[in-house]
Structure 1
Amino acid sequence: MATVGAIDENPLRFVAKMFYLRAMSKEITDNQLIGELGEAAVRKRFLSIGFQFDARSRLEAGIDGIAEVMIEGEPSARMLAVQVKSTRSRKYTSEDENGFSYLLESNDLAYWRNSNLPVILVLYRESDESFYWSMIDVRPGVEARRLIFTKSTDALNREAVDRLAALTVPKAGFGYYVPPLRGGEMALVNLLPLVLPQEIYVSSSPFDPKRAVAELFNQDNTPRFDWALKGGSFWSFHDPRTTSTRAIVDVDQVEVIETSLLAFHEDIDEQNNFAFLLRRTLEHQVQSDLAWDNETRLLYFRAHEENQSRTYAYRSAKNKAKADVVNVARHPKYPERVSFVRHHAFVPKFECLMDQWFLMVNPTYHFTTNGFLRHSHPHALLSGKKRLDNNASLRGQVIMWHRFLTEYDLPETELFVSDDVSEPVLRFGSPPEIELPTTVPEDVWGKPKSRGEVSGDQAEFILNEV
């Protein structure tokens, strides 16, 4: 006779059933809970400072939500991609009363590089209800995995609104704004209008570009590369019959035509080929003072001598000025040892906008070990230097490059002393200025260097010690 509550089946089968039911039961982990709480808290914080915030679905792979800038309550269609990292009470790496650091995961950084929106990381801690944020630098060639947070300036609150909104202003593509200094209302644009030569030389060629370069090196004359060659068609602004390029063209087929016929061609491939010709012509034109780095695709000031600085004198907006365009940084502990050499540089990009060609000047830096050999760790040095750049620095660099490209007759600059480039071919007008309705706050250009943040020079010292 069976008693009430007795097991009426095989004991082994009963135990197996209990294990199965337990395995099938769902469990919500603490990480999932704090993740949900963090996203909800960050959404509330964005709403409280005047932004909209839309959370994404559970299928997200590295972007938790989209924040939209609101201007006096009206949506602006300016978006930020937001990734939230939450914790209950854990301290961050090297955290003190001033700040801390945070190391990004490589797979997250690779994912964010594909974003067409600015990406920011928001850190939420439940124990003290703290919110800190930082922009993720996704520019090509920049490997900034370690973020430095300063508690006084990187809190996600109403004081961060201007800096957050500024991230949504494009700084790539067809130029970007360089805000005016100290409350001015005129903004400088990093586009230099181009004055094209009236004529261009075209010819057929039996060579492809690779074979043409090899052929030029086989000639007795100094080779020159200010030409474009595609599909057997040769273009240049110089007469190929009078230079080393005579060897790579059909001399009897050389013709002179109006530049506008190729410069404003309807075919986008032809325009791209013309832009390539402009870039190669610019390289040749400034070769006595600037060098081309093929890996980073930028032009940088040459060093005159090994481990020697170089100064370029020019006239700024009102006064005479000078810049250390090649700067030798020495080891902080051993001054006799050169840590690296920093060169002023810019990434040239030619764009045709409304039947006008422009040179887009994106200022940056190039790093070498002694003025000539490329540095093996340029990314950390570039990140450190870029963090120190502000409005005045960027504006000054745009003005300096404009002066360099247009003022050829300054004797102290020693520009264009090569016999092969005695007369510049490309000429540039002044960068446009735009009147802004409001002044852009200085702090949107970045935060001041905190006590815990390393500069470019200090970064090199760390690299040496490691």
Structure 2
Amino acid sequence: MADRKTVTRQTFIGEKGIALIERRCLEMGHLFHPRRVDHGIDGHIDLVEPGSGAVLNLTLLVQSKAQDRRFSGETDDAFHYVCDQRDLDHWLSGNSPVILVFSHPESDEAWWTEVKAAFPDAVSRAKRVVHIDKRTQRFDRDAAQALLHLAVPRTAGLYLRPAPITEVLTTNLLPVTEMPLTVHLAPAAFTDYRAAGAALDAQGQRASGWILRDGLVLSFHSLRDSPLRVLCAADPERHETAEWADSDDLDTQHRFADLLSRTVQSSYPDLRWHKDRKHMHFRATSHLRPRKAGKGPGSRGRTVFGPHASKSDPQRVGFYHHAALRTRFRRLGGVWYCQLEPDYCFTTDGRTEHPYADRLLAGIKRLDRHPAVRGWTHVWANYLNQDVDLFTEPRPVQFGELATMTVDRGIDDRWWGPAPSGVAPEDDQEPSSAGQENLDTVLAAADANTQDLLSLLQGGSSDGDAGAARRKDAGNKARSAGRRTSRRGGTNSERRGQ
């Protein structure tokens, strides 16, 4: 016999509890109206004047708690019930009276209490426990008059806050899941990075992933048999990483966070450190062609480097954009995280910063909205989390997925108001004319097109952010012009970029 849909025993118990409430209300002379959609309230009682039968336009809200087993601590005289925190907050959030009806439908017994009377102060609300006296709180015809006294007067508005929405929030925190087991340190032979870098260059090889701090040189790499030996003024020591990672000393935490940051910066050959901007950004590609990165499940990635045509002359490249990232390592709840803060970099030739980089950055910040930040955060999380292949050395610091948290509050995205003037609206809205004029003024000196900046926020066009889709051909010509004309980022600049 084929499987059939079934009704659970608890469903029957719940329905019997509602039926018992309706029958008792009729016995009292009141009317009960069950709700088919339950968000913490099962129905409401319309109160009726005794004798005349007049409907008083007074209402009580009802939540049913029906069980076929005994309630907690139930005896012949009493029992107690622990309320869910979200339900309790919901019931207490308005001026509408809410009563709880506890019942054993099989034995035709029911008891009740009014929520605000059961939780009169902060102490009782923190405990969330309802105490029921089975002799004095029976829900039967003798309770009719007590219900009449609970109703809100007709002159008062009746409201109850909507039921809370459970929501999963995604943070910009990337947990560190793996790091080297040993930290190497030694007294430093140099006091600043410039001199230390010159000493390494003199050996004919560049080493990275180290820091100078408080007269020490520190690295996850060995200091004894590597190019970093030249930075040591005495024999190196080895310490367990856990001594640093788990330390409660703030100075030690700051040193360790700095070491993590330097190590990550040196672990991705496609990234370049911008000393003045304090961020990492994608390097220019060979021949200054667009690059995509950050692919993940359900994501095609985004164009992280690419050219943009000049607004005044679409035949030449106006600037190149580089996706950038600021990082901050923090220990929260005993776990180290990399905090991701997406940023942008603009160059004239893939390496030299654009003279109007600040204006371009100001323009894109005016357009930046939550969807863009969220999108770029996922791009960077996917990129830093990329799998190691046969041609890539294992990275010393590895990450997990973006940290999430579940909260018992939520906001319907449709409730958000319009964006302030000068800030990019959602995809289905157009920028205000005043805000657009101000933005065009900011970008005028940089000879940039607003649509090009929008393409960065929206993920870029498939041809690599050379411009909007309607300017695809002009963008392709601009890339060719950029490679031909040395004055506008030509051959010499291209070699520098490589």
Mapping of residues 228-267 of structure 1, within 5 Å? 228-250=211-233, 253-267=235-249
Q: Which residue of 2 is the match for residue 427 of structure 1? A: 398
Q: Is the 8 A contact 1:289 1:301 kept in 2?
A: yes
2:292 paired with 1:308: no
| Structure 1 residue ranges without an equivalent (≥5) | 1-71, 74-182
Distance 1:256 1:455 in 2: 57
Distance 2:272 2:438 in 1: 26
Distance 1:307 1:209, change over 3 A: same
Q: Which residue of 2 is the match for residue 364 of structure 1? A: 343
Q: Which residue of 1 is the match for residue 250 of structure 2? A: 268
Distance 2:293 2:197 in 1: 33
Displacement after TM superposition at 1:192 (Å): 0.8
Displacement after TM superposition at 1:363 (Å): 0.9
Q: Is the 8 A contact 2:329 2:337 kept in 1?
A: yes
2:333 paired with 1:378: no
State the identity %.
Answer: 27
Which of 198, 206, 214 pairs up with 2:198? 214
2:294 paired with 1:294: no
Find the residue that maps to 1:435 and give its secondary structure. strand
Distance 1:447 1:396, change over 3 A: closer
Displacement after TM superposition at 1:451 (Å): 3.3
Q: Is the 8 A contact 1:381 1:456 kept in 2?
A: no
Find the residue that maps to 1:266 and give its secondary structure. coil
Q: Is the 8 A contact 1:385 1:456 kept in 2?
A: no
Distance 1:239 1:328 in 2: 41
Q: Is the 8 A contact 1:329 1:339 kept in 2?
A: yes
Distance 1:326 1:371 in 2: 9
Displacement after TM superposition at 1:234 (Å): 2.3
Superposition TM-score, scaled by structure 2 size = 0.50
Q: Is the 8 A contact 2:309 2:318 kept in 1?
A: yes
Displacement after TM superposition at 1:370 (Å): 2.0
Q: Is the 8 A contact 1:339 1:461 kept in 2?
A: no
Distance 1:306 1:191 in 2: 35
Which of 427, 439, 449 pairs up with 2:411? 439
Distance 2:329 2:201 in 1: 28
Q: Which residue of 1 is the match for residue 328 of structure 2? A: 349
2:176 paired with 1:197: no
CA offset digits 1:359-401 (Å, max 9, x no partner): 1001121111121111122222122222333332221211111
Distance 1:456 1:291, change over 3 A: farther
Mapping of residues 52-91 of structure 1, within 5 Å? none
Distance 1:409 1:274 in 2: 24
CA offset digits 1:311-350 (Å, max 9, x no partner): 225114xx14121111311112311221111111111111
- Could you tell me which amino acid in structure 1 is paired with residue 211 of structure 2? A
Distance 2:303 2:442 in 1: 20
Distance 1:333 1:233, change over 3 A: closer
Distance 1:355 1:217 in 2: 38
Q: Is the 8 A contact 2:321 2:344 kept in 1?
A: yes
Distance 1:244 1:461 in 2: 48
Superposition TM-score, scaled by structure 1 size = 0.53
Find the residue that maps to 2:314 and give its secondary structure. coil
Find the residue that maps to 2:264 and give its secondary structure. helix
Distance 1:454 1:289 in 2: 37
Distance 2:210 2:447 in 1: 42
- Could you tell me which amino acid in structure 2 is paired with residue 215 of structure 1? A
Number of equivalenced pairs: 272
Displacement after TM superposition at 1:455 (Å): 9.1
Which of 372, 382, 387 pairs up with 2:366? 387
Distance 1:206 1:381, change over 3 A: closer
